[in-house]
Chains A and B, each alone.
Chain A
Amino acid sequence: MKIRKLLALSLVVLLVVGLMTGCGQKAQEPEESTPESQQQEPEEKRIKVGLVYDIGGRGDLSFNDSAYAGLKQAEQDFGLEVTDLEPSGGGEDREQLLRLLAEDGYDLIFGVGFMFTDHIAKVAEEFPDVKFGLIDGAVEDIDSSSNISCLLFKEHEGSFLVGAAAALRSESGKVGFIGGMKSPLIERFEYGYLAGAKYANPNIETFSDYVGTTGDAFKDPVKAKELALKQIKAGADVLYHASGASGIGMIEAATANEKLSIGVDSDQSLTATDEQKPFILTSMMKRVDNSVYETIKNFVEDKFEGGYRVFGLNDDGVGYAENEFNKDLISDIQPKLEELKDKVIKGEIEVPADKNEYEEFLKTLK
């Protein structure tokens, strides 16, 4: 009987440990870098910057990794103390993690992703002395005196360029788009892309599909791959995704069928496998890293401003990737892309960001 109880108890302990490991880990980086940085500035109190990821987390090779890159760069340049946390699978503990960092005395805290919008608004009110950076989301009614800085991107402008690239490169005259969670944010990618494709080639046929309607859609590569296969069978030969970690499935499907894919947020050529690299046309770069870095820089220099900050083509907040792997694929269409980029920046082309604007846009093409 005693042994039974002991065994049962140890089982319980095991399960509890399992539970705890499931709740957001601290990355180990801060500990590693502490000794060096402390030697550099022994007396000064170091600025503490925290960051909470979106669903998909670090390692999605796209959106979250880009935020991480910006944080790391800032850590190196300014000798900060940084912490990055990953929410639990469904992201239910976002708010707790933000509050945890705020209570822990962090000076500047980032929430990566539009799902943080309400949580940041709430936590920022409770901690007026702490500054917050919100990526992709817009908290309503704030101005420059607020402690929230909303970092927004004109994804549709960047998507417009890669859409044009897709249409110019497509041989079948059919291109596809795969979105993650169906939401206004992802629709900006979609309609920007479709508009770009139609602008470059009015006769192009386009497909678009979404993985799902919840946050889980950003980590379902199985479905994304099936959707990609469907589009490929229907004739698409260039595919673009805005679906976080799900996009891994799309790139896999495209590579297996020797079709081109376009990455999103980060330069996905750099993280692809060797077989995949020749089939990645380009990536729509959303410089989350720059936005994080710049916000931290402003904060360090005591120039932090609340309100809204929009990054577009004009300040290289979005764009398309060029690297050693896709040189041969895009070099001949690059002049055309640069021309389009100029037109968008000058306002000669209004890139649509939702369905209604897209329909208006199509009329102007005719």
Chain B
Amino acid sequence: MLVAELFASSLRMAVPILLTAIGAVYTERSGIVNIGLEGMMIVGSFWASVGAYFYGPIMGLIYAMMAGAFLALIHSVATVTFRVNQVVSGVALNILAYGSSRFLSLIIFNKATTSHHVSGFKTVDIPGLSEIAFLQPLMTDISPILIMALILVPVSKYIIDKTVFGLRLRSVGENPLAADTLGINVFAMRYAGVIISGMLAGAAGAYLTMEHTGMYVEGMTQGKGYIAMAAMIFGNWTPTGTLWASLLFGFAEALSLRAGEGSIIPYQFIKMIPYVLTLAVLTGIVKKSTPPAASGVPYDRSTG
């Protein structure tokens, strides 16, 4: 029972990381580094509250994804068309997301840091499995967005590995010049990759606002966008690897919440677990990581 509960909690903590990390796979595979995922998650969490407050949860999700996609569009205009340094653009977008959310929150809700209460999707129980007592915490009261995130893993794997779109996406990320000479529209593919990542990061924000707390609170993303990037790298730029990495990070968070006071380890150290894990993963443990060859490199036809 306790173990199942721990896993259920890990899963809940993992969902926003997973959604964003899958998005990160798309954008990185197309050759664009997207540090702005955190910002896209922030606008997602804010716009979800706007959509859900006025029109219900479905519009909340749509608003969030559109807001994320809009920010991603700015990122792609800057990095793909104008070949701005991708990290700089992403960082700028994070600041823009933060400022614009606060500004609009003041206008729309008349308070700077929180929205009104919003309701999320109706939770679902998995028929059959929810009857088994041991699995109950895992199988009941599940958010549809959580299910959507899990389904997205095999779907993305299929899209990236098996479809024409996926092949083209990967080729522009590995060698844009070669892809271009074969007649693939490098720019369009990269725009698509970045915008998909923005939509998924927005959906992750919507999950936080609508499904988890029922309210937008400024700063509620708490750096999950960055952790998602780490999860994507840890997952070796693949959807399935990303799933395991996200679950690991979710598990670390859930564990740090469960290891209470009174244990031998000082409290502050327990709270560090997820961050130390991120650091460890990024610096040492990942040995065999193979990023797309052209990731982070702007493509210019005249210079190749």
Tell me the A residues contacting B by CB distance below 8 Å: 4, 7-8, 11, 14-15, 17-23, 25, 56-61, 86, 89, 182, 207-210, 212-213, 216, 219-223, 225-227, 229-230, 233, 245-246, 248-249, 252, 256, 272-273
Contacts of A19 in B (CB 8 A): 95-96, 99
Bound-state Cα–Cα, A58 to B257, Å? 27
**B contact residues, total (Cβ < 8 Å):** 47
Q: Which residue from B5, B102, B212 sits with its C-beta under 8 Å from A222?
A: B212
Contacts of A60 in B (CB 8 A): 113-114
How many A-B residue pairs lie within 8 Å, measured between CB atoms?
A: 133
Contacts of A212 in B (CB 8 A): 271
Chain B nearest CB, measured from A172 CB (Å):
16
Bound-state Cα–Cα, A124 to B154, Å? 61
Q: Which residue from B111, B141, B213, B222 sits with its C-beta under 8 Å from A252?
A: B213
Contact between B82 and A4 (Cβ–Cβ < 8 Å)?
A: yes
Contacts of B252 in A (CB 8 A): none
8 contacts between A and B (CB under 8 A): A18-B95, A89-B218, A219-B113, A221-B217, A222-B213, A226-B254, A233-B137, A248-B214
Contacts of A86 in B (CB 8 A): 112-113
Q: Which residue from B99, B141, B214 sits with its C-beta under 8 Å from A20?
A: B99
Q: A222 with B257: in contact, given A18-B100, A59-B114, A60-B113 (CB under 8 Å)?
A: no
Interface segment out of the listed B58-66, B228-236, B260-268: B260-268
Chain B nearest CB, measured from A276 CB (Å):
8
Dominant SS at the A interface? helix
Known: A21-B103, A86-B112. 7 other contacts (CB 8 A): A18-B100, A19-B95, A19-B96, A22-B102, A57-B112, A225-B212, A229-B9
B258: nearest chain-A partner, CB-CB: A230
Q: In the complex, which of the residues B77, B92, B141, B253 has the most CB atoms of chain A within 10 Å of its own CB atom? A: B92
Dominant SS at the B interface? helix
Bound-state Cα–Cα, A64 to B154, Å? 46
Tell me the B residues contacting A by CB distance below 8 Å: 2, 5, 9, 12-13, 74, 77-78, 82, 84, 92, 95-100, 102-103, 106, 109, 111-114, 117, 137, 141, 208, 212-215, 217-220, 222, 253-254, 257-258, 260-261, 267-268, 271
Bound-state Cα–Cα, A232 to B227, Å? 28
Contacts of B253 in A (CB 8 A): 223, 226
Bound-state Cα–Cα, A7 to B84, Å? 12
Bound-state Cα–Cα, A200 to B11, Å? 38
Contacts of B220 in A (CB 8 A): 219-222
Q: Which residue from A17, A207, A221 sits with its C-beta under 8 Å from B215?
A: A221
Contacts of A14 in B (CB 8 A): 74, 96
Contact between A11 and B78 (Cβ–Cβ < 8 Å)?
A: yes
Contacts of A11 in B (CB 8 A): 74, 77-78
Bound-state Cα–Cα, A281 to B96, Å? 40
Chain B nearest CB, measured from A251 CB (Å):
9
Chain A nearest CB, measured from B188 CB (Å):
19
Contacts of A17 in B (CB 8 A): 99
Q: A225 with B213: in contact, given A22-B102, A25-B106, A182-B267 (CB under 8 Å)?
A: yes
